[in-house]
Chains A and B, each alone.
Chain A
Amino acid sequence: MEAGGDAAAPAPGDAEDVEDTQFPSEEAGDGGDVHEGSPDPEDGGLEETGPETKEQPPDLLSPLPQSEAPSCTCGLWSPAASENSPMGGPESGSGSQGGDPSDEDWRSKRKHVFVLSEAGKPIYSRYGSVEALSTTMGVMTALVSFVQSAGDAIRAIYAEDHKLVFLQQGPLLLVAVSRTPQSASQLRGELLAVHAQIVSTLTRASVARIFARKQNYDLRRLLAGSERTLDRLLDSMERDPGALLLGAVRCVPLTRPLREALGALLRRCTAPGLALSVLAVGGRLVTAAQERTVLAECRLDPADLQLLLDWVGAPAFAAGEAWAPVCLPRFNPDGFFYAYVARLDAMPVCLLLLGTDPEAFHDMATCRRLVEDGMHTLGAMRALREAASFSNASSASAPAYSVQAVGAPGLRHFLYKPLDIPDHHRQLPQFTSPELEAPYSREEERQRLSDLYHRLHSRLHSTSRPLRLIYHVAEKETLLAWVTSKFELYTCLSPLVTKAGAILVVTKLLRWVKKEEDRLFIRYPPKYSTPPAAPAASADQASHNGLFTGP
């Protein structure tokens, strides 16, 4: 096997680090040739991995404790469950059943996520009923406080094929127990997203205050109704890992003139205190306009934007116009914005207006009518409807494109995030990927692809030994992942592709993306300036803002 990097457009140059090994042995053999995050794109490490006969080598997860400071191995999580089915088996919506840790079905889940309070009170569990799990959660609390008593913090436990990742956020403890090939830091990223979701409804300050007041408070009371949101979040991370892996949002492909007209429209329709206007379809961005000063002083984190996109995509917003407080955890975890959310014209097109004035509902509603009228004048509704109706039946409301559009036979799927973007563009990190089509139409196939993407991502971004290019031959597909200073790319190719063929496909893909870039991405995010909202008066905002009055 040889490294054939120079055939592709921006060639990675010499591959000085060609290895023909499998992942696990690499992780263990952390020898001398460590790349220190080489900033030079020419200085790329090329890695190849041979075909893996098993989806999940049993020894894959155990020996990689390098980057995780205090970790210990113990048999807390009996691996008995893993015999059941390698791909997670019956995943289909069984959140309500049992939850007894001895229950075979419960144990066979690929990934569990728990949220508990510092006092060990259960708050959320991905599967099963929280009540039945109180002893299990008790064990987790014990583990955490045991390590804490030694002045240390537990971060992860590797037990045979399981990874247990712990994340302490204020008075909340989040735990992931996973049999997926995700790395501990990827799992930690998911736990952070779960925490952000909780913070977005309650704010960090109010969570802290509640537990400061009453240590054994049952937070489930306040989170009632949010469980399903968390379930949805975890499901979408499993099925569509792009947003979280790449830290970017996905855009609806749209012609540049139309997108710019819509951006100009959002820029025109402002209200006092308005900070962000977003048009979205099915959790994907059409365009977003930001208040100029927000943009200049503090960036809108893609994680916050993704959270908003998921939020407005929720079926709870299907009827009427909604007006709700929402906290953007990365922007300011302790304060609320007020969000106006409406579906335009009974379409899946959703308008979100985020402002700071709690009384501005009617201003926002006026704003929405302006946007709606403007869109009718532009004929944008029809264009968006067409975009929405293109996508296949599986997700009728999410406009997308087929991988066929690239015109590169053998290419099955890809994730592409541009990095060579002008500064004003960087405010809105974006990525693009086509619809998942056959053979990735079944849940387990998608899961397999998601696992492979995760694995490649963790290799590219390994803290101890990052790579630039990976050519990975898996059992049912071939993958090529490549990160340069200009882009980050993950491609999934047919298993029969040759290496030269793969490079040809990737070259073609890069050319296509370049050509279509105006359509795929928001090149010039619109900005506007609004007068500030009328300030509401109060010293200790949090006590009433924090949604907790205490009955």
Chain B
Amino acid sequence: MHLALRPGGRRFDLGAEGWAPSWPGAAASYLFSPPVPTAVATAPACLWREAKFSQARRREKGDRELPCGTQNAQQSGSLEVSRPGEHGMAQVAGASRPRAAPGQPFVFKLVLLGSGSVGKSSLALRYVKNDFRSTLPTVGCAFFTKVVDLGAASLKLEIWDTAGQEKYHSVCHLYFRGANAVLLVYDITRKDSFDMAQQWLKDLEKEFHPGEIVVMLVGNKTDLGEEREVTIEEGKEFAESKRLLFMETSARLNHQVTEVFSAVARELLQREERKEGQTQRRDARLALNERPAGQAKCCAR
């Protein structure tokens, strides 16, 4: 039921590839994020952006001509316009910062993904506000935070509840970048939503390394058991084949909702602790290379 944890800290070994994150999607995903300023600047009347962005855009053009390996370093340079001080891992900046400050609880980014009206918002609302009501389709993405107390430790979950509608699919990449955990939600009364969840997983595989994030498959709406189209075995089987966590819930009846989030939180915490151990080991090695260890933060392994 648990995700395989790859041993060792291979990904941030400073080999011949340099300091670039090793998954190909990372560089690509930044490149393909919606470049709004450029878009705005294309409007005939919008001279105002043109001047401001021209310099930066020239730099981007340069980026694109560079071979893949060096691209990241270049790009992080241009990124410093908005986020000075974050090198290298700028692609996942903004969201992935497990520990805000020493003594503060860990902060993890959790993203809800799935087709429209499978109950993503209801799950979030039930968990965060213990409320259930018929919600309207989410616009873009809704953001919640919740502090989870796991007895020994507590952590803060940043919950990104994405819109399931197809029109928002391509922007969803925006939201799940830098995620530490993903809930893949489907509706047990709709086979197509289960297929869609598998599709989402493929997208995630493109974006993340196996084992990099915690993924849980969630079959929602168990209260509509008589209309069930996806059996619990099907869900379980798929989850096991892909090494995902799995649970069935009912946001309406508040069945296992908290458990889902707690399970994910526990898993995240375990991984973080394991990673801390590794980081310490790696620290020694990194010191030799004179690289600050903090930059490996986003690697939630």
- Which A residues are closer than 8 A to B by beta carbons? 201-202, 221-226, 228, 272-273, 293-294, 296-298, 311, 314-317, 319-326, 331-332, 334-339, 341, 356-362, 365, 532-539, 541-542, 544-549, 551
Known: A314-B136, A538-B31. A356 touches B56 (CB 8 A): no
B290 on interface, CB distance cutoff 8 Å: no
Which of chain A's residues have a CB closer than 8 A to the CB of B138?
316, 322
B45 on interface, CB distance cutoff 8 Å: yes
CA distance A341 to B40 in the complex (A): 20
Q: Check A297 against B136 for contact (C-beta < 8 Å).
A: no
Q: Which residues 145-164 in B have Cβ within 8 Å of A in the complex?
A: 161, 163
Residue of chain A at shortest CB distance from B91: A359
**What are 8 pairs between A and B in contact, CB < 8 Å?**
A222-B165, A331-B46, A332-B39, A357-B82, A532-B53, A535-B56, A538-B31, A547-B170
Q: Check B168 against A335 for contact (C-beta < 8 Å).
A: no
Contact segment of B13-21, B73-81, B212-220: B73-81
Q: Check B170 against A541 for contact (C-beta < 8 Å).
A: no
What are the 4 A-B residue pairs with the smallest beta carbon separation, nearest first? A324-B140, A335-B39, A534-B82, A225-B137
Known: A202-B167, A294-B48, A322-B139. A535 touches B37 (CB 8 A): yes
Q: Check A223 against B167 for contact (C-beta < 8 Å).
A: yes
B266 on interface, CB distance cutoff 8 Å: no
Which of chain B's residues have a CB closer than 8 A to the CB of A549?
169-170
Q: Check A365 against B143 for contact (C-beta < 8 Å).
A: yes
Which of chain B's residues have a CB closer than 8 A to the CB of A535?
35, 37-38, 53, 56-57, 60, 78, 81
Q: Check B37 against A356 for contact (C-beta < 8 Å).
A: yes
Known: A325-B34, A535-B78, A547-B167. A541 touches B39 (CB 8 A): yes
Chain B residues bordering chain A, tally (CB within 8 A): 63
Which of chain B's residues have a CB closer than 8 A to the CB of A319?
121, 125, 129, 135, 142, 144
CA distance A317 to B135 in the complex (A): 10
Question: Shortest distance in angstroms between A498's beta carbon and chain B's nearest beta carbon?
Answer: 50
B288 on interface, CB distance cutoff 8 Å: no
Question: Shortest distance in angstroms between A548's beta carbon and chain B's nearest beta carbon?
Answer: 7
CA distance A251 to B49 in the complex (A): 29
Residue of chain B at shortest CB distance from A534: B82
Which of chain B's residues have a CB closer than 8 A to the CB of A331?
40, 43, 46
Question: Shortest distance in angstroms between B288's beta carbon and chain A's nearest beta carbon?
Answer: 33
Known: A221-B166, A320-B144, A325-B171. A298 touches B34 (CB 8 A): no
B64 on interface, CB distance cutoff 8 Å: yes
Known: A225-B165, A319-B121, A534-B83. A324 touches B141 (CB 8 A): yes
Known: A225-B116, A321-B142, A321-B143. A544 touches B45 (CB 8 A): no
Residue of chain B at shortest CB distance from A227: B137
CA distance A272 to B52 in the complex (A): 12
Q: Check B45 against A297 for contact (C-beta < 8 Å).
A: yes
A201, A294, A316, A537: residue with the most chain B Cβ atoms closer than 10 Å: A537
Question: Shortest distance in angstroms between B6's beta carbon and chain A's nearest beta carbon?
Answer: 28
Q: Check B35 against A541 for contact (C-beta < 8 Å).
A: yes
Which of chain A's residues have a CB closer than 8 A to the CB of B53?
532, 535
Which of chain A's residues have a CB closer than 8 A to the CB of B39?
332, 334-336, 541-542, 545
Q: Check A537 against B35 for contact (C-beta < 8 Å).
A: yes
Question: Shortest distance in angstroms between A55's beta carbon and chain B's nearest beta carbon?
Answer: 36
- Which B residues are closer than 8 A to A by beta carbons? 30-40, 42-43, 45-49, 52-53, 56-57, 60, 63-64, 75, 78-79, 81-83, 93-95, 116, 121, 124-125, 128-129, 135-144, 161, 163, 165-171, 173-175, 199
Question: Shortest distance in angstroms between B58's beta carbon and chain A's nearest beta carbon?
Answer: 10
Q: Check A338 against B36 for contact (C-beta < 8 Å).
A: yes
Which of chain A's residues have a CB closer than 8 A to the CB of B78?
534-535, 537
Q: Check A272 against B43 for contact (C-beta < 8 Å).
A: no
Question: Shortest distance in angstroms between B284's beta carbon and chain A's nearest beta carbon?
Answer: 33
Which of chain B's residues have a CB closer than 8 A to the CB of A321?
142-144
Question: Shortest distance in angstroms between B26's beta carbon and chain A's nearest beta carbon?
Answer: 14
Which of chain A's residues have a CB closer than 8 A to the CB of B125?
319
Question: Shortest distance in angstroms between A264's beta carbon and chain B's nearest beta carbon?
Answer: 23
Which of chain B's residues have a CB closer than 8 A to the CB of A360?
82
Residue of chain B at shortest CB distance from A291: B48
CA distance A533 to B128 in the complex (A): 32
Which of chain B's residues have a CB closer than 8 A to the CB of A317?
139
CA distance A222 to B116 in the complex (A): 11
User: Which of B60, B136, B140 has a CB less than 8 Å from the CB of A323?
Assistant: B140
Question: Shortest distance in angstroms between A402's beta carbon and chain B's nearest beta carbon?
Answer: 31
Residue of chain A at shortest CB distance from B97: A362
Q: Check B48 against A298 for contact (C-beta < 8 Å).
A: yes
Residue of chain B at shortest CB distance from A295: B48
CA distance A549 to B168 in the complex (A): 10
Question: Shortest distance in angstroms between A440's beta carbon and chain B's nearest beta carbon?
Answer: 29
User: Which of B37, B94, B124, B170 has a CB less than 8 Å from the CB of A548?
Assistant: B170
Q: Check B46 against A298 for contact (C-beta < 8 Å).
A: yes
User: Which of B38, B137, B139, B161 has a CB less than 8 Å from the CB of A541?
Assistant: B38
Which of chain B's residues have a CB closer than 8 A to the CB of A297?
45-48
User: Which of A201, A228, A335, A534 has a CB less than 8 Å from the CB of B42?
Assistant: A335
CA distance A201 to B165 in the complex (A): 11
Q: Check A358 against B34 for contact (C-beta < 8 Å).
A: yes
User: Which of A222, A362, A534, A537 has a CB less than 8 Å from the CB of B63?
Assistant: A537
Q: Check A314 against B34 for contact (C-beta < 8 Å).
A: no
Question: Shortest distance in angstroms between B125's beta carbon and chain A's nearest beta carbon?
Answer: 6
Which of chain B's residues have a CB closer than 8 A to the CB of A221?
166
Which of chain B's residues have a CB closer than 8 A to the CB of A202?
167
B37, B129, B138, B144: residue with the most chain A Cβ atoms closer than 10 Å: B37
CA distance A202 to B167 in the complex (A): 7
Q: Check A547 against B168 for contact (C-beta < 8 Å).
A: yes
Which of chain A's residues have a CB closer than 8 A to the CB of B48?
293-294, 296-298
CA distance A222 to B168 in the complex (A): 8
A296, A357, A532, A542: residue with the most chain B Cβ atoms closer than 10 Å: A532
CA distance A322 to B46 in the complex (A): 27
CA distance A294 to B45 in the complex (A): 10
Q: Check B141 against A536 for contact (C-beta < 8 Å).
A: no
Which of chain A's residues have a CB closer than 8 A to the CB of B35?
535-538, 541, 545
Can you name 10 extra interface pairs (CB under 8 A) apart from A273-B37, A323-B143?
A: A320-B128, A326-B140, A356-B49, A359-B174, A536-B35, A537-B30, A537-B75, A538-B31, A541-B38, A546-B170
Which of chain B's residues have a CB closer than 8 A to the CB of A362?
94-95
Question: Shortest distance in angstroms between A305's beta carbon and chain B's nearest beta carbon?
Answer: 16
Residue of chain A at shortest CB distance from B41: A335
Q: Check A545 against B36 for contact (C-beta < 8 Å).
A: yes
Question: Shortest distance in angstroms between A471's beta carbon and chain B's nearest beta carbon?
Answer: 41
Which of chain B's residues have a CB closer than 8 A to the CB of A357?
36-37, 82
Residue of chain B at shortest CB distance from A292: B48
Which of chain A's residues have a CB closer than 8 A to the CB of B52?
293, 532
CA distance A358 to B46 in the complex (A): 19
Q: Check A224 against B137 for contact (C-beta < 8 Å).
A: yes
Residue of chain A at shortest CB distance from B31: A537
Known: A322-B143, A324-B139, A332-B46. A272 touches B82 (CB 8 A): yes
